[in-house]
A and B are shown apart, each in its own frame.
Chain A
Amino acid sequence: MALQSLDITRRSASPTASPQARKTIEIAKLIDVSTCIGCKACQVACSEWNDIREEVGHNIGVYDNPTDLSADAWTVMRFAEEESNGKLEWLIRKDGCMHCADPGCLKACPSPGAIIQYSNGIVDFHQENCIGCGYCVSGCPFNVPRISQKDNKAYKCTMCSDRVAVGQEPACVKTCPTGAIQFGSKEDMKQVAATRVTDLKQRGYDNAGLYDPQGVGGTHVMYVLHHADKPEQYSGLPKDPQISTTVQLWKGWLKPLATIGIAAAGLFGFFHYITVGPNRADDEDDSAANVGRNEEDKA
Chain B
Amino acid sequence: MKPQLIQRYSAPERINHWIVAVCFILLALSGLAFFYPAFFWLTGVFGTPQLARIIHPFVGVLMFVAFARQFFRYWHHNLLTRDDIQWMKSVKTVMQGHEVGDTGKYNGGQKGMFWMMCACMLVLLVSGIIAWRPYFAIHLPIPLIRVALLAHACAAIALIASIIVHVYAAFWVKGTIRAMVEGVVTHGWAKKHHPRWYREVTGKQK
Contact = CB atoms under 8 A, between A and B. Distances in A.
Interface of A: 12-15, 110-112, 129, 131-135, 137-138, 143, 147, 149, 152, 244, 246-247, 249-250, 254-255, 257-258, 261-262, 264-266, 268-269, 272-273, 276-282, 284-286, 288-293, 296-297
8 contacts: A244-B143, A269-B172, A272-B95, A279-B174, A280-B174, A281-B174, A285-B191, A288-B187
Q: Which 9 A-B pairs have the closest CB atoms?
A: A289-B187, A269-B168, A13-B37, A265-B164, A290-B188, A281-B188, A246-B146, A281-B192, A285-B188
B119 interface: no
B153 A258 contact: yes
Contacts of A296: 174-175, 178, 186
A110 B34 contact: yes
A59 to B, nearest CB: 24
Nearest to B49: A131
B17 to A, nearest CB: 18
Given A132-B133, A255-B36, A290 B157 contact: no
Given A110-B35, A285-B192, A292-B5, 4 more contacts: A272-B95, A276-B97, A289-B4, A292-B186
B154 interface: yes
B133 A112 contact: no
Interface string B33-50: 111111010010000011
Contact of B187 (A132, A137, A262, A290): A290
B150 to A, nearest CB: 4
A269 to B, nearest CB: 4
Given A13-B37, A254-B153, A289 B134 contact: no
B150 A279 contact: no
B188 A244 contact: no
Contacts of B186: 281-282, 289-290, 292-293, 296
A249 B188 CA distance: 49
Contacts of B54: 132
A39 B189 CA distance: 81
Nearest to A294: B186
B14 interface: no
Interface of B: 2, 4-5, 33-38, 40, 43, 49-50, 52-54, 95-97, 131, 133-134, 137-138, 142-143, 145-147, 149-150, 153-154, 157-158, 160-162, 164-165, 168, 171-175, 178, 186-189, 191-193
A240 to B, nearest CB: 16
A293 B188 CA distance: 9
Contacts of A289: 4, 186-188, 191
A272 B161 contact: no
A255 B156 CA distance: 12
Contact of A265 (B5, B38, B161, B191): B161
A279 B97 contact: yes
A138 B148 CA distance: 10
Interface centre among B36, B52, B193 (most CB of A within 10 A): B36
Nearest to A143: B142
Interface centre among A15, A268, A278, A281 (most CB of B within 10 A): A281
A292 B133 contact: no
Contacts of B43: 131
Given A265-B161, A276-B95, A293 B189 contact: yes
B145 A281 contact: no
Contacts of B53: 131-133
